Structure 1
Amino acid sequence: MTIKEKINDKIGNIVSRFNSLSQEENSKLQTETVISDGMPELARQAAAEGAVLLENKGLLPLAAGTTVSLFGRTYKDYFFVGYGSGGDVIRPYNIDIAEGIENCDRLKLNTTLHSIYLEWIEKNPVSHGYWAHWPLRYWEMPLTDEIVAQAKADSDVAVVTIGRSSGEDRDCDLDNGSYFLHDEEIEMLDTVTAHFDKVVVLLNVGNIIDMSWVKHYGDKIGAVMYVWQGGMESGNAVADLLCGKVNPSGRLTDTIARNYYDYPSSASFGNKKANEYTEDIFVGYRYFESFAQDKVLYPFGYGLSYTSFEIKCNDVKANDNGFEFNFTVTNTGDVAGKETVQLYLGKPCGRLGNPSRALAAFEKTELLEPKQSQSITLFVDMYQLTSFDDCGSTNNASSYVIEKGEYSFYAGNNVRQAEKVFTYFQEGTELWQQLKQVCSPKNDFIVWRAEEKSGKIYLGSKHVAKEKYDLATRILNNLPAAIEQTGDKGIKLADVKNGKATLDEFVAQLDNTELEAITRGDYKMDSPLGPKGNAGAYGGVLESLRNKGIRPIITTDGPSGIRLISCCSLLPIGTLLACSFNTRLVEQLYTIVAKEMKEKGTDVLLAPGMNIHRNPLCGRNFEYFSEDPYVSGKMGAACVKGIQSQGGSACPKHFACNNQELCRNTNDSQISERALREIYLKAFEICIKDSQPKNIMTSYNKINNVWCHYNYDTCVTVLRNEWGYEGNVMTDWWMKPSKSIEFPNLRDQAYRIRSGVNLLMPGGDRVTNGKPDGTLLATLGKPDGITLGEIQQSAKYILKSVMDIE
């Protein structure tokens, strides 16, 4: 442990005593242990199905009766989840890897080595740090040749665990002990591989880390597996995978590059003020497969199995709506397993410069016994063939178009090993959907583009398409009409829900004080209107509102479980769930969470996390799914369907471009409209259209100089007018005060309402809790001020969400 680490550890121990958000402190709270029916089995299955086997030189699965020596303190001090609001769950139990192996009837634990580790761990306890100063790793026990030699004599195989974490408000470091291996870990691997000829390395991480060391060790390491952070059943799932009770079936939802600087975002990540998204649409595999295949260690969609599969395309049917593909998947190996059929679309480069591959559909099989087959049908909508023209290159500015040329479909088990199965030729460029320009950059900068020359595709560049419209005019032309205020007519909200009165008639009863209150929460986290530890309440925050039948709606943090001062299930992290490629399993998992929500008295789970893995160093990547918007959207929709299956509400977040934790409240994502629409908004679009969440949360950051909680175009022009969203739009917890850019008389709450962000959560600022700040009603009825119709419209969206939540 370095001097710097020791100092940080001491600071963390002091500060965490005063921070109610510390996982270390919450873990000490005494609550009744409750285990939901079916959750242990389902969480264990999910944790195993999302693990990705990267290397296996015939070592795995381990034979029955194998004695295992565990190395690396995180086999015991396991990272079950990341840090911050997305992981701080009081769970009924945690199963580490040692306990998992002890629970496994096929494996034996080297208890002598385990005892040495336990004694050292007791003398060298870990600290979970404090808010925004989470530990990125734990220091390792020094190993001697004598200890490792004795372990080799006492066991058959070494299993080395490399642990990493990250968390909200802190990005990972491009340094040893975070993205790179620490010197202590290299020494551990060197010593273990010098004595053991059978070595497995497990990566207990929330983010992709540097993997160049795998080639360095070569045959000295027999297997490498990303087991991620698997929640409370982590250890049991890992043991199942090691012994072969479960066949690994996880597939990467991120590309693992040879070098950090090979990632297309590496040159524009971590800047405090702003990041120019110069890579444009070429995020992850879209870049690597188009221009830099040689810079990839493990491609998107990659993952090994203990068996083998054949994927055969039987038939393709085309119609006006899209393309239907029928596949037969056969287990051609010797053990049971699951396979994921991945279907990729290759668009023509065209005038817009399209990437060579984009995931278009996927489906995971059931468990197939040797020689068993399953039929899989995948559908690709014609909309998926479109590209967004943000600059008029096809003479269709601000439009989705299907460009002229050849569209090829490739099927396989990863983006690199996918064979062409069908080709469609588009005779001429077709306008698919004419839209309005939104959120375009105000500043000029250069973005990447694909260019075709003499039949070959090259990486080129172009100036970004800049803003060419007047937002103020757009907003003023769409102001809602006011509803005449009538005073209390005795109409209850239940009357609206039962069809006895209209929502307009109900809203007409609300006076200005009630209208202000309905558009904010109950001022603080842990509202007295809900169970202890809630994130905040909205809806019936005044007695007069409750008298009108508006009940308080209780929110709680997610997505890896319900964050309350109560015992709740701890789920695997979002990245692991996405790597399972099993949407049915994810929906089932969150259906049990939905039942827990009902039992605990909470209505809205602030989940799923939907942001894109733009860069492997983003500290909150563990909550999110992938570098790819399609799999992110489908996984997000599965979460929403599960959460809302029992009448509660999901709340996808953070809308949008929350791709960096450093200066997250002020950082500006400077991005082209095309990249915004095709990558960063696309996951939300898919999720919303597939699952109709009742709430959605904006993000802290700016998009092209406009904070997302003041962004009319994302929240109204796109979300409501284009996608048809009917739910409630809320802020992330607290927001930055600001004057309106277009309407200088408006600020803060009035600016937010005019921007189409209906609800301020938790309701006040961090200092002035307990009373309105006055900014919403200050200009009501005045020239160029907020209008009654705007406030009433926000109230209506919030009340719809209240009525929709059972």
Structure 2
Amino acid sequence: MVVIGRAAGEDRENTLEPGSYYLTEAERKLLTQVTGAFAKTVVLIDSGSIMDLAWLEEYPISAALVVWQGGMESGNAVADVLTGAVTPCGKLTDTISYRYEDHPSASNFLGNDANVYAEDIYVGYRYFETFAQDKVQFPFGFGLSYTTFALENVQVKLCGDTVRVKATVKNTGSYAGKEVVQVYGAAPQGVLGKAARVLCAYEKTKLLQPGECQVLDMKFPVNNLASYDDSGATGHKDAWVLEAGDYAVYVGSDVRAAQKQGAVTVPELRVLSQLEEVCAPVVPFERMVNKDGQAAYEPVPQATRSLKDRIVENMPQEIPFTGDKGIKLQDVADGLASMEDFVAQLTPEDLEALSRGDYIMGSSLGALGNAGVLGGITESLRALGVPPATTTDGPSGIRLQYYCSLLPCGTALACAWNPQLVESLYQAHGREMVMKGSDMLLGPGMNIHRNPLCGRNFEYFSEDPLVSGKTGAAMVRGLQKNGVSACPKHFACNNQETNRAYNDSQVSQRALREIYLKGFEICIAEGKPQNIMSSYNKINGVWSHYNYDLCTTVLRGEWGYEGVVITDWWMRSSPDPDFPDLWDSAYRIRAQVDVLMPGAIDHAGTPDPSALESYRKGGLTLAELQRGACNVLRYLIRSNALKRMNA
């Protein structure tokens, strides 16, 4: 047995060098020696993200087990699989190609100032299954087992606006095991052009004994087959549409093995939802499109609308200031007073304090080793019954100055293709948070595996937004059953660590909505997180922590999110290009990024005076400060922090 190991971590990338993406000469020598000395050789790949695996075909290797970074129980888990006590049942959540250069983003990654998302919607298997099937070593969704399975009696039906897929899974082998059934859609090309396959649903069986069967009943909304028209090619710009034609449904054990089992016919163009232009590119570039099955390029549609007018049209209404009326936050929780009555008592200084954390990591108001504290960070707020809430880094465990569990990395969990299992694990994790004094876990990491060199891929789930969204939602549900909160991150397009605080993700609206926002949308709809974290990077020229369209128009307006948006730790200074009297935190608050974490403008804990200075100059309004405070206070009412304060 040979173990190939690779490290991974934040603020770094994988590199196209031996010892990172490629094998070292020492590793190659070891493989030559071991395979030459033994009749059978098993390789364990202990890596946080995908590495080059073309060498598996260069040596007489009997089996390879990708173990990812499995946390504190990884050794026991690997031993169980190797000895046959457990049958492996994981599936890849990424495509493994023969060469790095075959990835569609290979020529547009690691840019220092910007990355052009020229591959557009053709990320991972969406690219390979459409344009480059012969470049794939292991397809998306692939994974071996000690047993075999057969799919029988597969049925596809359209019931209203829901596609229903029933399939009988039979264990045809000699060992007990589990199988994952994956359902893919193949849309008509229409005028927009589509990927050859898009994952629409999946489900894992129970442990099936040899000869045992299980019927799986999978459902998904027909909207999962829709495309976003950002050009107006269908006559409906900025709309989700179903173009007319037959939508084939494929079912199988991975994207390549899936077979056509039926189709859904859309007789004419259907407009599912008419939206508005958001986060559109401001810099011209060429994006990939599907022209008769061949990859071609066309100019990306650019921004045409004024953001300023929309902000002015949607300004909140001010709550008249009353001063202290003796109302405590617990009174609001108990239904004895309204949130508006409570917020009416708060001074601008109180409101500003609610818009930031306690300046530094390791705040004395929280558990030892905390990432930061928000909420009741001043004596005046605590006198009104506002509790301080403790954040802790994650998501593969709790980072505090205590002994804490170390959980599998995000990719490892997603490769289980088992949201129910993930939810139960994170319910236990939530109980540990309560024990250790954590109120908010900074996770799950939701960013897409756009490129295999991204150093933080280990923390994220997949190249596919459905897998990412379902896995993230399961984590959120599990955690929040304990009165603690998840905080999905990094919203959005944090797909590179290099110069991450300044890099501009230049991406079309279509790719943004179909790929990079879709996982967050699913997570919010199905998990209902109480908090979410913005990303460091820019999206089409605007930092996420200042991005009104991202955090107000889409997140709150379209998706109905009612929770808190916090920054990633610290933020970049910038004036608001549309409103001269807004800058830094005032600019952020107008975008409804509610809380600056850990609360200062630098690591030394220097306060940011911009919110109050802008307010006094007539820039930021009292109503905007109140709106952000309401978002924060609604979270605190639901938190264990309020229960602890009142206990």
TM-score, normalised via structure 2 length: 0.98
Paired position in structure 2 for 1:61: none
Q: Distance in 1 between matches of 2:527 and 2:209?
A: 33
Residues 539-550 of structure 1 correspond to what in structure 2 (within 5 A)? 539-550=375-386
CA contact (8 A) 2:154 2:261 kept: no
> Which residue of 613, 618, 621 maps to 1:787?
621
> Which residue of 616, 619, 631 maps to 1:797?
631
**Counterpart amino acid of 2:101?**
Y
Paired position in structure 1 for 2:644: none
> Which residue of 209, 217, 221 maps to 1:381?
221
CA contact (8 A) 2:323 2:346 kept: yes
SS of the residue 1:646 aligns to? coil
Matched, 1:777 2:612: yes
Paired position in structure 1 for 2:645: none
**Counterpart amino acid of 2:253?**
N
Matched, 1:304 2:144: yes
Q: Show CA shifts across 1:536-557 (max 9, x none).
A: 1000001111111111111001
CA contact (8 A) 2:360 2:604 kept: no
Paired position in structure 1 for 2:331: 495
Q: Give 1:313 deviation, angstroms.
A: 3.9
Q: Distance in 2 between matches of 1:308 and 1:254?
A: 22
> Which residue of 306, 319, 344 maps to 1:483?
319
> Which residue of 280, 284, 288 maps to 1:448?
288
Q: Distance in 2 between matches of 1:510 and 1:764?
A: 21
> Which residue of 2, 6, 10 maps to 1:168?
10
Q: Distance in 2 between matches of 1:713 and 1:773?
A: 24
Paired position in structure 1 for 2:549: 713
| Structure whose CA Rg is larger | 1
- After superposing the two structures, state which structure 1 stretch, 738-747 or 345-354, moved more: 738-747
SS of the residue 2:58 aligns to? helix
Q: Give 1:767 deviation, angstroms.
A: 4.6
Q: Distance in 1 between matches of 2:156 and 2:567?
A: 44
Paired position in structure 2 for 1:462: 298
> Which residue of 490, 496, 506 maps to 1:660?
496
CA contact (8 A) 2:147 2:175 kept: yes
Matched, 1:365 2:191: no
Q: Show CA shifts across 1:171-192 (max 9, x none).
A: 0111111001011101111111
Paired position in structure 2 for 1:224: 64
Matched, 1:408 2:244: no
Paired position in structure 2 for 1:635: 471
SS of the residue 1:780 aligns to? helix
Residues 293-442 of structure 1 correspond to what in structure 2 (within 5 A)? 293-442=133-282
Matched, 1:242 2:82: yes
Q: Distance in 2 between matches of 1:577 and 1:714?
A: 28
SS of the residue 2:174 aligns to? coil
Paired position in structure 1 for 2:357: 521
Matched, 1:179 2:21: yes
CA contact (8 A) 1:653 1:698 kept: yes
SS of the residue 2:151 aligns to? strand
> Which residue of 732, 737, 759 maps to 2:595?
759
Q: Distance in 1 between matches of 2:187 and 2:83?
A: 43
Paired position in structure 2 for 1:702: 538
Q: Distance in 2 between matches of 1:787 and 1:325?
A: 52
Matched, 1:690 2:519: no
Q: Give 1:349 deviation, angstroms.
A: 1.1
Structure 2 segments unaligned to the other structure (5+ residues): 641-647
Q: How many residues align?
A: 640
CA contact (8 A) 2:155 2:262 kept: no
Q: Distance in 2 between matches of 1:231 and 1:769?
A: 33
Q: Give 1:765 deviation, angstroms.
A: 2.4
CA contact (8 A) 2:200 2:225 kept: no
Q: Work out the percentage of aligned pairs sharing the same amino acid.
A: 53
Matched, 1:285 2:125: yes
SS of the residue 1:777 aligns to? helix
> Which residue of 428, 432, 438 maps to 1:596?
432
Q: Distance in 2 between matches of 1:648 and 1:617?
A: 33
SS of the residue 2:614 aligns to? coil
Q: Show CA shifts across 1:591-615 (max 9, x none).
A: 1110001111110001100000000
**Counterpart amino acid of 1:333?**
G
Q: Give 1:757 deviation, angstroms.
A: 0.3
Structure 1 segments unaligned to the other structure (5+ residues): 1-158
Q: Structure 1 pair 318/487, CA: closer, same or farther in 2 (3 Å)?
A: same
Paired position in structure 2 for 1:611: 447
- After superposing the two structures, state which structure 1 stretch, 311-320 or 404-413, moved more: 311-320
CA contact (8 A) 1:313 1:325 kept: no
Q: Show CA shifts across 1:511-547 (max 9, x none).
A: 0111110110011111111110011100000111111
CA contact (8 A) 1:715 1:757 kept: yes
Q: Distance in 2 between matches of 1:205 and 1:509?
A: 53
Q: Distance in 2 between matches of 1:676 and 1:743?
A: 26
Paired position in structure 2 for 1:43: none
Q: Give 1:317 deviation, angstroms.
A: 3.1
SS of the residue 1:776 aligns to? helix
CA contact (8 A) 2:581 2:617 kept: no
Q: Show CA shifts across 1:540-576 (max 9, x none).
A: 0011111111111110011100110011111000000
Q: Show CA shifts across 1:156-181 (max 9, x none).
A: xxx00000012100001111110010
CA contact (8 A) 1:282 1:355 kept: yes
CA contact (8 A) 2:360 2:603 kept: no
**Counterpart amino acid of 2:208?**
L
Q: Give 1:782 deviation, angstroms.
A: 3.5
Q: Distance in 1 between matches of 2:157 and 2:16?
A: 48
SS of the residue 2:611 aligns to? coil
Q: Show CA shifts across 1:373-420 (max 9, x none).
A: 111111010211210000000000000000011101100000000011
Q: Distance in 2 between matches of 1:712 and 1:312?
A: 49
Q: Distance in 1 between matches of 2:520 and 2:129?
A: 24
SS of the residue 2:353 aligns to? helix
TM-score, normalised via structure 1 length: 0.79
